[in-house]
Structure 1
Amino acid sequence: MEDENIASEQSERREANGNADSLLAASINEKLSSLTSLPSQCCIYRVPDTLRRLNEEAFVPRILSIGPVHHGKERLRDMEGHKWQYLKALLQRKPGTMVECYVKAMRELEARTRGCYAEIIKFDSDEFVTMMLLDGCFIIELFLKNKNKQLRDEDDPIFNRTMVLTDLHRDLILLENQLPFFVLETLFNLIGNTDQEGPSTSVLELTYVFFKFLGLQEVLIRDSQPDVKHLLDLLRLWFVPPSSTKSTSKSKFELIRSVTELHEAGVKFRMGTVSCLMEIKFINGVLEIPPLTIEDTTDSLLGNLIAFEQCCNRFTPRYITDYVILMEYLINSPKDVALLNRYGIINNLLGDNEGVSHLFKKLGKEVVFNSDKFQFSNLCRDVNKYHKTRWHVWRATLRRDYFNNPWAIISFIGAVLLLFFTLIQTVCSLLSLKKGNK
């Protein structure tokens, strides 16, 4: 009887465990079914914590929120009123335009727009559509006013305050502060051109004019219509070299020496003449690097471009990441910055060479790059090969130690002449001695 009770208890226990397992499995399946895969059109991400921890300020908007990630934050509310004012100004220049037309267009793009963000957006439909319309029209009106001063009011709160405009330039290039480019194009097409705005205006052209101070390639605007994801993606496209000059390098990745070490080994430096930042060349001992202006927003621009490349797997190679890695190796100290500044390659508006050196060290931290597809592998190989040649090192040492100033040159010539006359005197003495022996 006792054995039967034990068996019964064990059976009940197994049944209870089985039910518990079934319930747990059902809960797990429910959780899995609720998950959504990352949309294929996803292109707007949160900055990875590994990068954010290095310099959080570089990734957070100062005065303007665009899109859902920073929407509604208290410290950014002041700009919301300006958004409504800009929307009103935009609509007033298009008499007879119904707001309903814009709302309908944004509603049709809502699902596609939500799919561009890497996280689930918890706004309801009306709130999300309002945000799309308000943020998109603000950007377009801002760009139009930037290009055409006649569209600005005398008391415009943005263009009459340089600091505000500077902050807007910075905030519009943040990875977390983006709106899909097709939203801007759809709104711009609905608004249409007016005589004031010019017959050939496009969102691409307006963007170029607004960010022209960055030294962008204007040729791409007219020669092609790339598949642009958002404003930050467009800037990246303008910084990337044309397809005709992209490296097809399969060389093994090699570390490159610092600017100072290369300079001491006889490598010459020259400011590049092309507008593309990535077109760095090494020909006949001359390293040609396009100029780069270092100012307050440089760390934010490069940092967000790097974060975009790190998050998006479609970028191969990662041009901006590779560029920063190369510059990090070249710039190892303030002395390297001073040399590049002397040759016009770096225009340091920070005024602190140590700060520029620290900037590239910081940008290169926690960054993943593919050494097998490094854009500058061939360049590093050629520079290292030149650096290892003994003749180049000897020639550079001779120039540094004996030809670095007029007095050193005079001393060297004097030493050579002294050696020459000593040799002649020795030869003459030997000849005289030989004649005497005869």
Structure 2
Amino acid sequence: MENGDIEIWANSIREDLPRMKGQISDTEIIIPRVPERLRLGENDPYEPQIISFGPYHHGKPRLQDMEKYKWRYLEAILSRNEEIPLEHYINMMKEQETKIRSWYPDYFDINSSEEFVKMVLLDGCFFVEYLLRCHEEVLDELDSINWMHGQILYDILLLENQIPFFILNKIFELLQVTPSPSMDVHSSPSSLTEMAISYLRRTTKKNTNLPPPESVHHLLHLYHSFCLYTPKVERDRTTSIITNDGVTSEISAEVSCQDIPSATVLQEAGIKFMRKEVEGSSLDVTFSNGEMKIPPLLIDADTKSRLRNLVIFEQFYPNFSSDKSFSAYVEFINVLVTTPEDVALLYEEGIIQTFYSNKYTAGLLSQLQRGTTVKSNHYLAPLYQKVISTFTSISLTTSYFPRCRKVSRTKRREDNGEACVLIPHPRISLISRGILSTKK
């Protein structure tokens, strides 16, 4: 190869460097598509039903009915402050186009700069105006359709349907809304973030008083923070010691979720389940003195999509290092509920609230964790250790054998859940897996 050719290639690569850098978010914050390995053949939990935001679902025929509302809401935004002309909004969007595009790393078919800017402008102005109208309790044509607001909330909280929050903030700032010290109805909101929190509080009927976070990447991120419980648990890496008739058993603090029996088996061993009344998060699970207290979990038409999008958001969140997570919570629910009998038990205790059959509910809950990973040191790890210690203590002191119960989830899918096998004594099972050791 001639030196001249190498120099031409090098110049070509140098020209591409700025362009390619612009396609990567400086903050590593991205709004990805849900990959096939996590979809597992399903689209409904991840795709909008009536309205699109952002490029991934833009232009789909079944979502076109809502486009007229986006134009009306753009007009409403412009009329809120007529001193700020449309050109100001377009210029701001154009200046931010490269940054906005970098937040969407997966393929979308919008190459035209004009089309992309128009899309973000319409989507962003609809979003801001919608939050303003909800805050001001202004009735419009959307209120004439009973299910409309619930469906918009459903679509707003989909990972693939997010808009960078910074661009929404810029629209809000251009409006020059006068700040107010309170968030009383009809007062001017002090910030877009506080207005969004107020919207989530009303629409989800949660009493969580989340202080405005330092940064919000998109509304699903804010909803994640809004819902997430932060338990103050000190990690104890020592072992718990149980002594019985001269036999000392050591239970490692590193206990896997697979070592936790299902709800019915735990109840048969004497562990009690109780509904826990909390304000806000349903992740606040506790275990003490043989009693497991779990906040109520509502199973409705939105549950699967809502939890799956929160879990998958965590899978892609850069440097997600918090012990707390929805990923750990759905793993916990998946462990407790393996059969319709487990659903029936938790329903009787007021923990699971569902209008579906026990079989359907058990199947739905078993799908929440599919394809995802959970860090071993998550916030429920100490609870797992306490449960297995108590369960093993009962086994050692009462020679408890669980009754014949359903086989594993994998086997149950093969035989439609009808087979029944004898489960090994828990102490034997724990010894075989290296979790429990005995010393005389």
User: TM-score under structure 2 normalisation?
Assistant: 0.75
Query: Could you tell me which amino acid in structure 2 is paired with residue 321 of structure 1?
Result: S
Indicate the percent of aligned positions where both proteins have the same amino acid: 31
Query: Could you tell me which amino acid in structure 1 is paired with residue 393 of structure 2?
Result: T
Instruction: Find the counterpart in structure 2 of residue 137 from structure 1.
Output: 125
How many residues matched?
A: 367
Instruction: Find the counterpart in structure 1 of residue 83 from structure 2.
Output: 96
Matched residues in 1 for 2:86 and 2:58: separation? 22
Matched residues in 1 for 2:42 and 2:397: separation? 40
Q: Which runs of 5+ in 1 are unaligned?
A: 1-17, 398-438
Instruction: Find the counterpart in structure 1 of residue 165 from structure 2.
Output: 181
Alignment RMSD (CA, Å) = 3.0
Query: Could you tell me which amino acid in structure 1 is paired with residue 254 of structure 2?
Result: K
Instruction: Find the counterpart in structure 1 of residue 327 from structure 2.
Output: 321
Query: Could you tell me which amino acid in structure 2 is paired with residue 346 of structure 1?
Result: I
Instruction: Map 1:355-394; keep pairs closer than 5 Å.
Output: 355-371=360-376, 373-390=377-394, 394=398
3-state SS, counterpart of residue 63 of structure 1 = coil
Matched residues in 2 for 1:118 and 1:276: separation? 31
Query: Could you tell me which amino acid in structure 1 is paired with residue 344 of structure 2?
Result: A
Larger radius of gyration: 1
Instruction: Find the counterpart in structure 1 of residue 218 from structure 2.
Output: 230
Matched residues in 1 for 2:96 and 2:20: separation? 22
Matched residues in 2 for 1:159 and 1:186: separation? 27
Whether the aligned pair in 2 keeps the contact of 1:193 and 1:199 (CA below 8 Å) is yes
- Report deviation, 1:52: 1.3
3-state SS, counterpart of residue 220 of structure 1 = coil
Instruction: Find the counterpart in structure 1 of residue 25 from structure 2.
Output: 39
Whether the aligned pair in 1 keeps the contact of 2:229 and 2:324 (CA below 8 Å) is no
3-state SS, counterpart of residue 293 of structure 2 = strand
Whether the aligned pair in 2 keeps the contact of 1:269 and 1:343 (CA below 8 Å) is yes
Pick the aligned partner of 1:210 from 199, 203, 208: 199
Instruction: Map 1:246-265; keep pairs closer than 5 Å.
Output: 248=235, 251-254=253-256, 255=258, 256-265=260-269
The answer to whether 1:330 aligns with 2:336 is yes
User: TM-score under structure 1 normalisation?
Assistant: 0.75
Pick the aligned partner of 2:302 from 272, 293, 297: 297
Matched residues in 1 for 2:275 and 2:236: separation? 23
Instruction: Find the counterpart in structure 2 of residue 417 from structure 1.
Output: none
Whether the aligned pair in 2 keeps the contact of 1:266 and 1:392 (CA below 8 Å) is no
Higher strand share: 2
Summarize deviations over 1:135-192 as a string: whole Å, max 9, x none: 111112212222323x323xx1x22112222221111111110001111122112223
Instruction: Find the counterpart in structure 1 of residue 96 from structure 2.
Output: 109
Could you say if the C-alpha distance between residues 387 and 281 of structure 1 is closer, same or farther in structure 2, counting changes exceeding 3 Å?
same
Matched residues in 2 for 1:249 and 1:67: separation? 45
Whether the aligned pair in 2 keeps the contact of 1:171 and 1:177 (CA below 8 Å) is yes
Instruction: Map 1:62-101; keep pairs closer than 5 Å.
Output: 62-101=49-88
Whether the aligned pair in 2 keeps the contact of 1:62 and 1:171 (CA below 8 Å) is yes
- Report deviation, 1:310: 1.6
- Report deviation, 1:294: 1.2
Whether the aligned pair in 1 keeps the contact of 2:269 and 2:394 (CA below 8 Å) is no
3-state SS, counterpart of residue 293 of structure 1 = strand
3-state SS, counterpart of residue 270 of structure 1 = strand
